[in-house]
């Protein structure tokens, strides 16, 4: 007698690809706690960035879950929005003295009311447009209210140097891909030259 469909699907063998991905994910987590020079790799990473932003942590979780579980939580538009925001916000914050020498943007992150309204102004429009990157911004607002990080500056919840650099790289790669696609379309649309030695009328 054949088992019910649900039971049969539950007892079905797990594909080797998923097992391999799960093993790689577990090995990555274990590697973070391997001591290196008296400190674990996790502590070495946090020594360079003691306050990782909420969007960065969220994107790491989404990427790992997509790779290991095979479920794409973020669509391409969501990734573009997340990296685009990280590139713009990080450039405005870390290049403040070059882009906006007349104002100290980091200073406004210490003002609670201004910071809350700024975080809400980033999260709510993205959610209203159905972009899942807004969930990361909303999580940043909630984490800021709960003071989950050591920093009391709201911008540290929203962006960090690693997130900024990764976002700039992602935006640059997307821009190059679009330029290559546009250039390939233009080359393909050109009329081919007449063959030499063709038929004569």
* pLDDT tens profile 45-75: 555 666 788 999 899 888 888 877 777 889 9
- Strands (DSSP E) along 38-171, which ranges? 39-40
Helix, strand, coil proportions of the chain in percent (round to 5)?
A: 70, 0, 25
CA distance 72 to 68: 10
Residues in the chain, pLDDT under 70: 1-19, 21-22, 24-50, 185-201
């Amino acid at each position: 007698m054949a088992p019910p469909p649900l039971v049969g699907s539950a007892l079905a063998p797990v594909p080797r690809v998923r097992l391999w991905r799960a093993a790689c994910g577990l090995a990555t987590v274990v590697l973070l706690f391997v001591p290196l020079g008296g400190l674990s790799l996790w502590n070495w990473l946090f020594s360079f960035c003691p306050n990782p932003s909420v969007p960065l942590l969220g994107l790491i979780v989404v990427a790992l879950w997509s790779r290991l579980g095979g479920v794409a939580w973020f669509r391409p538009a969501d990734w573009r929005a997340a990296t685009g925001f990280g590139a713009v916000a990080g450039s405005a914050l870390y290049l403040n003295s070059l882009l906006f020498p007349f104002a100290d943007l980091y200073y406004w992150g210490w003002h609670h009311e201004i910071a809350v309204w700024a975080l809400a102004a980033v999260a709510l429009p993205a959610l209203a447009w159905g972009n899942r990157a807004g969930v990361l911004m909303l999580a940043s607002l909630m984490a800021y209210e709960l003071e989950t990080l050591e920093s009391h500056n709201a911008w540290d919840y929203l962006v960090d140097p690693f997130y900024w650099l990764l976002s700039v790289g992602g935006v640059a790669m997307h821009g190059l891909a679009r330029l290559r696609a546009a250039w390939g379309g233009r080359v393909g649309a050109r009329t081919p030259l007449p063959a030499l030695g063709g038929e004569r009328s």
